[in-house]
Structure 1
Amino acid sequence: MVKFNSTSRLSNIDTKVILTQTDTTVGFLSQDALKLCDIKSRQPSKPFIKVYKNFKALKQDKKRVPNAQKNLVRRLKKTTFIVKNFSFRVANDSSHSSFLREIQWKYSTSANESGKNFSRIFCEEKADIIVEDKNKLFEGKASKLYKINNKKIKRLR
């Protein structure tokens, strides 16, 4: 476990698991989905939310948002979208997007075992890097979840 007081030294963290306060709640971030599955005791077939640093990164990843819903996706904050069984969120929050400065995206999941509440002890054992600011780590409200296509918007959470 490595503790940093600032995010400026986090450039080579491709497959490390980071415990941090995300734009919604305390969470694990990593580009290694299998590592996250192992930590959360979760089935590998269950997909993770992909968090992008901005809309340009989403476009570079060749992910398309239906034209009719582009404005909605740009406007709504702290919201996860599902398009054709692909879930994503754009982290406009400056502190959260700073982890994605070098890397365009990361998988994101809540910092707990599947189906359980946040436990700081569990998280500190499992994380490679812990990033904590003055607000500390806290379990906040989960992001809103919408399934969208060209014609419909359905709120799932």
Structure 2
Amino acid sequence: MMRAWILPILLVLCGSVLAAGLIFSETVGPAAAVLLVFVLLAAVNSPLLSPRSIGALEAQRRSAADGRPVVFWRPGCKYCFRLRVRLGRSARQLHWVDIWRDPAGAAAVRAANNGNETVPTVVVAGQPHTNPDPAWVRKQLSRSA
């Protein structure tokens, strides 16, 4: 769990150091702007804005019952973030598995990607698809409904 917070913490620390340097040079306005940018970057990369995750076994059980895809992801992954943003509200209908929190999920991703933990990996009807186009995922989601 701590691994997911490393990048946001580093972003806030770097922003704080830069802002402090600007404050010491008596430029308070730009210091506030720099700090705000770094805090926003930290928020975007934090687990707070991440989808609600469930375990891999539970996700597979739910997917078998309702036919919706399972998305294996991890915090800080820009491709996972892109998928989540481009799916919009329909992202809530997917079953999300954080591979950093669930060892079974990480094992499933490694099995699908020749030993690599490449995410996002979307499983539709038992078939894994690595970093698929968000439009394709949306189409698969509409088919399952």
* TM-score class normalised by the smaller sequence: under 0.3
Answer with 1 or 2: which has the greater Rg. 2
Structure number with higher helix proportion: 2
Structure having greater relative contact order (Cα 8 Å, sep ≥ 6) = 1
Per the normalisation by structure 1, the TM-score is 0.25
Per the normalisation by structure 2, the TM-score is 0.26
Structure number with higher strand proportion: 1
